[in-house]
Structure 1
Amino acid sequence: MGLISIEFGLGFPAFFLLYWLFRPRPDIQNGLLTVASLALLWHYASGRVVASVVVFTVLVYLVAKAMQASDSARGRKAWLFAGVTLAVLNLLFWKYAEPWRVPLGELLAGHGLDIDLRNQWLLPLGLSYYTFQGISYLVDCQRGDIQLGRRLALLELLGHFGLFLTVTAGPIQRVTDAKGLTDYRNAPCNALDQIKAREPRHIIAPTFALCLILAGLAKKWWLSGWLASHVVTPVFANPSEYHALDIFTAIQGYTLQLFFDFSGYSDLVVGMGLLLGLRLPVNFRAPLLAHNLREFWNRWHISLSMWIRDYLYIPLGGNRGGFARTQLNLLAAMVLSGIWHGWSGYFLKFALWGLLHGLGLVLLNIGDNVFARLPGWRANGRKRDFIAGLGLPARVLSTFLTVQFVCFCFILFPIQDLGEVVPLFHALGHNVHDVRIGPWTLPVLLAMLVLWALYPAGRRLPEHCAGALARLPALLRPALIFAGFVLIVLLAPSGIPGFMYANF
């Protein structure tokens, strides 16, 4: 979805004005959001993508109605199983049937149907995200977490799944509240109450919303784009020609590029949601300050992490079967989440990525378990996160090691196959004396270190900027915000950036 494009930049203000003309009627506003979302999907993707969303929505709606009509808990569970199975099969078909595209095309051609599957077989935009939302909706209906009279009507459900703010890359919005999934004020922000509310909406924290949008644009358009063109892409394209320090910097830079890209996009949609009176869940909360891997996953792509917890880890057994079984459940959930990121020839590298993170979490839990048994340790009130009890130096060291683990695991994302890892690490270990360090390497490393040191305070920069603007004359605020936008455009690389996570 081209939220950073000339067409969208011109169209959103017009939609904004139309949307708020119907402020007394939230139901009409919901309809406008649905129509606009489907129109944008059609414009930026295709009619086939719109059809995919509509068909999926009808399927989920009918399964939910069938569960409602069932007189027994067993019947409702059967309908839930059928609905989740169909949703998962639909996801697997589009993501993993790529190798069968050519044989299927040849088979159809042999029967007189000459269909160009090379251009037609494309992953529908937003498939994973509305599939995850559909599964969570069905589970909540089966559990009875949604009262019968408050379940979403068909058009409401279509607006929930296809919302243009979230359909491309989340956040994965739930119809019910979920632990760890909160808005910019750390308040619960389920979609059901917002869709069903009949009180007039209002623009939420407009100055903060605009500052958040500017921060998102700066991260995604300027910083992520600059890192890609100057630091990351050239090195990963041919690591043998670069110094080991260049390669190390590119490894750090890729994680930072991915973070700026994805968190910037999330800031952008959360800010636009506030302008439309909607509270979307915050998807990133300073993950590169996490002092262990468990905390990292509580801060990175939060809506997906919480979804994995609630709909993979807990159904697998969670922590109900003892310590060893808990670790197996955790490992399985992380491998499955890794597999979700890729398809076809990329299957193994993403499975390995999930396995590495799973093993890291398991080792962390084993360490916590060992320290919890030490004499006197329980007296400190800590059964987990034992590093946090060892003082600031230990926290800084553990944060650095956590970030390095994350960075080196993310090496698996930009490479095309696992065979590229060997020359990359060979160059990292040997290109020290015979290759000159690149001109950007030392300044970029220094900038990364400074940013990391300032990040605890800088993470709240949009809030601080909004507070500062609020103390200025009202007429001056739009001019400063517009100046910030112009500055970002001037500093950003040429062209409109794509979205990195759309590749996973």
Structure 2
Amino acid sequence: MLTFEPYGNPTYFALLGVALLPLMIGLLYGKRSRLYETLVSIFFLVLTFGGSKWTQGVALIIYILYEVVLTWGYAVYRRNHNSGPLFYLMVILAIAPLTIVKVTPAVENGQASLIGFLGVSYLTFRAVQTMMETRDGTLKNYNIMTFLQFMLFFPTISSGPIDRYRRFEADYRSVPDRDKYLGMLQKGIRYLFVGFMYKFILAYYFGTILMPKLQLMAMHSRGGFLDISWPLIGYMYCYSADLFFDFAGYSLFAVGTSYIMGIATPMNFNQPWRSPNIKDFWNRWHITLSFWFRDFIYMRLVFWFMKHKVFKKPTTTANVTYIINMLIMGFWHGVTWYYITYGLFHGVALVVNDTWLRYKKKHRQSIPHNKFTQVFAIFLTANLVCFSFLIFSGILDKIWFLK
């Protein structure tokens, strides 16, 4: 049986085009066949998780059944009850599989977990946010079939973007009028073409052609202060470019395919390299992930700290929560020193950024703000981000510890 990485080669896109054509025609005439959409999703899920990856497919099925039981059970319970301890227990149970998947390589000498599969992180985010919104009362009409469609929506299953249940449900249960759908179709096709340029041209050049050469040169140039060399600096910028173009290209494929299917999946990137500070960067980079962490971890921790008066000052509450939030993000990427350091780096950067913005606000008259300072702020932010990506890349682990 053939297996494909999502959006990995021309054959995948050819199959995608053939499969989506009847759906496009139907939407142009105001019809949405949920049965056909389900069959298309199953087909592409089999292409992704079948064949040699059948163990991942089995893990996916077991995982989905597990999360359905948890979310449905909690939705039924929440109609008449609202126990805090039970809610926390359900959230812990919902994230338990992901925790096992992330921790296993660290304790098993790099061995992947048997229950791991492509996209387990993003599916966990969807399940947890559904449960949290059910508890908040913002999600009142939980539907198992819609939840399954939401979880198994194949364009975004492997790496996001992370949609919200209520937003997805609104699109899934409606049919856009012809003018609106033509606009979505135009955007979707444009996103696909830009995605091709990002992922198969730019990311290929930086990641496949240039980056291995720079890594080899950096390994041979060790010996100076902290083994820093010009090839290592070149690798830093090259890796940052590859990371952006590869993931932004994938995200454009996912969003473009979603738009063609009449689902307005949110964008994941919005010109992040134009950010004048680190907070603005996280409002532009991997947007659905950073907003998920903001809404479901950061804000809830801030509320809990303030409710229990853990810290006297709101600024202290915010600063501590920034660091906790970004550390969790670092651990989510993997239990390694460089992922955790990456999270801590961004947590501290957000604290410094907020401190500077407060100082700047108080001394607005004495601190210049013009085109030069704006360009300098963008330059400084971009370089700080690139340095954090150098940590994230793991090359420092090889340079410092691989002899």
If the length of structure 1 is used for normalisation, what is the TM-score?
0.69
Q: Which residue of 1 aligns with 2:129?
A: 136
CA change 1:67–1:120 in 2 (3 A) is closer
Q: Which residue of 2 aligns with 1:185?
A: none
Displacement of 1:206 in angstroms is 2.8
Match of 2:192 among 213, 228, 235: 213
Match of 2:158 among 136, 158, 168: 168
Cα distance in 2 for partners of 1:225, 1:364 equals: 34
Q: Which residue of 2 aligns with 1:428?
A: none
Number of matched pairs: 379
Match of 1:74 among 82, 89, 106: 82
- Spell out, residue by residue over 1:180-231, the C-alpha distance to the aligned partner (whole angstroms, 9 max, x if none): xxxxxxxxxx112012226778454333322221111111111111112343
Displacement of 1:123 in angstroms is 3.1
- 1:393-472 matches, within 5 Å, as 393-415=372-394, 418=397, 420=399
Cα distance in 2 for partners of 1:399, 1:60 equals: 42
CA change 1:145–1:40 in 2 (3 A) is farther
Greater C-alpha Rg: 1
Displacement of 1:299 in angstroms is 0.3
Q: Which residue of 2 aligns with 1:330?
A: 322
Cα distance in 1 for partners of 2:298, 2:32 equals: 40
CA change 1:393–1:298 in 2 (3 A) is same
Displacement of 1:47 in angstroms is 3.0
Cα distance in 1 for partners of 2:296, 2:52 equals: 29
Cα distance in 1 for partners of 2:230, 2:164 equals: 43
Q: Which residue of 1 aligns with 2:6?
A: 2
- Spell out, residue by residue over 1:66-88, the C-alpha distance to the aligned partner (whole angstroms, 9 max, x if none): 3343364433x444323211122
- Worse overlay, 25-34 or 220-229: 25-34
Q: Which residue of 2 aligns with 1:194?
A: 171
Match of 1:351 among 327, 340, 359: 340
Specify every segment of 5 or more residues in structure 2 that has no aligned partner in the other structure, as ranges: 222-227
Equivalent pairs: percent with the same residue? 21
- 1:14-25 matches, within 5 Å, as 14-20=18-24, 23=27, 24-25=31-32
Displacement of 1:159 in angstroms is 2.2
Cα distance in 1 for partners of 2:394, 2:265 equals: 33
* RMSD over equivalenced CA pairs, Å: 2.8
State the one-letter code of the partner of 2:233: F
Match of 1:85 among 92, 109, 121: 92
- 1:88-99 matches, within 5 Å, as 88-99=95-106
Match of 1:252 among 226, 237, 241: 237
Match of 1:297 among 282, 302, 324: 282
Given that 1:263 and 1:284 are in contact with CA atoms closer than 8 Å, whether structure 2 keeps it comes out as: yes
If the length of structure 2 is used for normalisation, what is the TM-score?
0.85
CA change 1:10–1:198 in 2 (3 A) is closer
Cα distance in 2 for partners of 1:119, 1:396 equals: 44
Given that 1:19 and 1:32 are in contact with CA atoms closer than 8 Å, whether structure 2 keeps it comes out as: no
Q: Does 1:152 align with 2:143?
A: yes
Displacement of 1:89 in angstroms is 1.4
Report 1 or 2 for greater relative contact order, CA contacts < 8 Å, sequence distance ≥ 6: 1
Structure number with higher helix proportion: 2
Q: Which residue of 2 aligns with 1:269?
A: 254
CA change 1:375–1:307 in 2 (3 A) is closer
CA change 1:393–1:211 in 2 (3 A) is same
- Spell out, residue by residue over 1:94-151, the C-alpha distance to the aligned partner (whole angstroms, 9 max, x if none): 121125548xxxxxxxxxxxxxx96873731100000001100111111111233xx2
Displacement of 1:312 in angstroms is 1.2
Cα distance in 1 for partners of 2:125, 2:51 equals: 22
- Spell out, residue by residue over 1:352-389, the C-alpha distance to the aligned partner (whole angstroms, 9 max, x if none): 01111111110111112223333768xxxxxxxxx8x7
Displacement of 1:51 in angstroms is 3.1
Given that 1:67 and 1:79 are in contact with CA atoms closer than 8 Å, whether structure 2 keeps it comes out as: no
Cα distance in 2 for partners of 1:99, 1:355 equals: 19
CA change 1:147–1:29 in 2 (3 A) is farther
CA change 1:118–1:295 in 2 (3 A) is closer
Q: Does 1:391 align with 2:398?
A: no
Given that 2:255 and 2:266 are in contact with CA atoms closer than 8 Å, whether structure 1 keeps it comes out as: yes
